Amino acid sequence: RKEKARGSCSPPEPSWEERLANAATPLWRLPYQEQLQVKYESQRKILQTLASRLEELGIDAQKPGGLCCPLQPVVPSPIINGYRNKSTFSVNRGPDGNPKTVGLYVGTGRERNIVCVKANHVENIPSKHKQVAQCYEEFICQSPLDSCILFHKGGHWRELVVRTTRCGHTMAIITFHPQQLGQEALATQKALLREFFTSGPGAACALTSLYFQESTMTRCSHEQSPYQLLHGAPHIFEELLGLRFRISPDAFFQVNTAGAEVLYQALGELCQAAGDTVLLDICCGTGAIGLSLAHQVSKVIGVEVVEKAIEDAEWNAAFNGISNCEFHSGKAEAVLPQLLASWEDARPLVAVVNPSRAGLHYRVVRAIRNCRAIRRLLYISCKPEGEAMRNFLELCCPPDPRKKLAGEPFAPVLAIPFDMFPHTVHCELVLLFTR
């Protein structure tokens, strides 16, 4: 009886909405200033770890507080709620058993306890994204075709990506597993989608672009399976720091536009670029960093793996009347070594790298290290405790002939975290390296 009495006072199970909020935005209950403090502490631990790892390599990197370099306070986001300009929604079984629920995951594939929960209460997702997700769920629920939860078990309807801009543009990208459907059946589904979002209930979303991608993989590039435009304009447009940017379906653009403006202005100061400086923008996406700093430097060279993003970058440069930029399409590990091996330009060369969570390929780090002209490097990382840590050590370690690493090592001199992701534990860390 005592056990029962004690159990009856236990807190109620959190709702599915709360569980999702806790999973997607773990800091959502904290006042914003406390969120910034939590992030500052986590970044401090990362810099302590880096200092320890450098010590193991025989590099005296301990600064006050055991950090590898001074750490500035976290720069806050100008917008705290609904700041995301891109959201990816999954399709899976919901708490009520509906296999056509459109939302975000609670649980993991490894634990086999995934539940897809509607994201209506998630604070970093704007209402427009939630509206499109709700309409997509309405559409697939009335479709006779099943959702594709496991590829080998059939089904068709898969994830939804929504991208919006401050210019009022909304792009929706719907991923569809074709399974054994013929071209006629596929054409029917595309026509039904177009009709739903242009003249049916989905018209309320006022989509400016509707894309459809047939994909038999978890993630598919445009080259592997083209994005098919079903309705509207092929691109959306954003304005940032007085410039206009064209964005393709799969082009990278910082997820927090207002935060990106603050970040890019800070990068301009950290570059310490003189009028004759050449800026090397590695993993440049649509060219936002290079183009926003082009007025400070003599030349910008951008490198990006996504071909459509390079087309956007070139359009963006031309539209904004910027003529001192050149962009190279291809994997950075293939393009950069060729570019830098024959570098004979006497002008100062500053590098900015903004890789995905996978970090930079070793050949990219080696090309940077072995190019004597690069004395200043800005590394932007959304997950500095992950693969980026490996890059930091590669940049700072002593020369190693076995690894063809001949160049003088870099040293971290300043770290500035930017809160691009309020309510989450993530931060965008800018680490300045010099040599």
pLDDT band with cut points at 50, 70 and 90 for residue 11: confident
Which of the pair, 150 or 290, is modelled with greater confidence?
290
Task: For 368-402, write each residue's pLDDT tens digit.
Answer: 999 999 999 999 999 999 899 999 999 999 998 88
**Is residue 304 part of an annotated ligand binding site?**
yes
Question: What pLDDT does residue 264 have?
Answer: 96
Going 190 to 196 to 199 to 205, the CA torsion angle's sign is: negative
Per the CB < 8 A criterion, the answer to whether 155 and 148 are in contact is: yes
Task: For 26-48, write each residue's pLDDT tens digit.
Answer: 999 999 999 999 999 999 999 99
Q: In what order do the strands lie in the sheet with 86-92?
A: 115-117, 101-106, 86-92, 157-164, 170-176, 209-214, 228-232
The pair of structure tokens assigned to 244 is 């206009």
pLDDT band with cut points at 50, 70 and 90 for residue 3: very low
The pair of structure tokens assigned to 27 is 């800091």
Top-tier CATH class for 86-234: mainly beta
User: What is the spatial distance between Cα 44 and Cα 26, in angstroms, rounded to a whole number?
Assistant: 19
For residues 145-159, give the mean pLDDT: 92
Question: What pLDDT does residue 230 have?
Answer: 98
How many H helices and E strands in the chain?
11, 16
pLDDT for residue 223 is more than 90: no
**Is residue 254 part of an annotated ligand binding site?**
yes
Minimum mean pLDDT range among 3-17, 75-89, 315-329, 416-430: 3-17
Task: For 359-369, write each residue's pLDDT tens digit.
Answer: 999 999 999 99
Strands 101-106 and 115-117: antiparallel
pLDDT band with cut points at 50, 70 and 90 for residue 8: low
The pair of structure tokens assigned to 420 is 């691009």
Per the CB < 8 A criterion, the answer to whether 327 and 287 are in contact is: yes
CATH 3.40.50.150 boundaries in the chain? 256-434
pLDDT for residue 4 is more than 60: no
pLDDT for residue 405 is more than 70: yes
Minimum mean pLDDT range among 221-235, 321-335, 364-378, 382-396: 221-235
Question: What pLDDT does residue 205 have?
Answer: 98
Residue among 148, 284, 382, 397 flagged as catalytic:
382
Going 222 to 137 to 115 to 30, the CA torsion angle's sign is: positive
Per the CB < 8 A criterion, the answer to whether 24 and 422 are in contact is: no
Angle between helices 387-396 and 362-369 (to 10 degrees): 30
Question: What pLDDT does residue 357 have?
Answer: 86
Catalytic status, residue 283: no
pLDDT for residue 353 is more than 90: yes
| Domain 256-434: CATH architecture, name and number where available | 3-Layer(aba) Sandwich (3.40)
pLDDT for residue 281 is more than 80: yes
The DSSP symbol for 41 reads: H
The DSSP symbol for 402 reads: G
Which of the pair, 2 or 23, is modelled with greater confidence?
23
Secondary structure (DSSP) of 253-322: --SBHHHHHHHHHHHHHHHT--TT-EEEEES-TTTHHHHHHGGGSSEEEEEES-HHHHHHHHHHHHHTT-
**Is residue 142 part of an annotated ligand binding site?**
no
CATH 2.40.50.1070 boundaries in the chain? 86-234
Task: For 175-207, write each residue's pLDDT tens digit.
Answer: 999 999 999 999 999 999 999 999 999 999 999
Task: For 79-112, write each residue's pLDDT tens digit.
Answer: 999 999 999 999 999 999 999 999 999 987 777 7
pLDDT for residue 419 is more than 90: yes
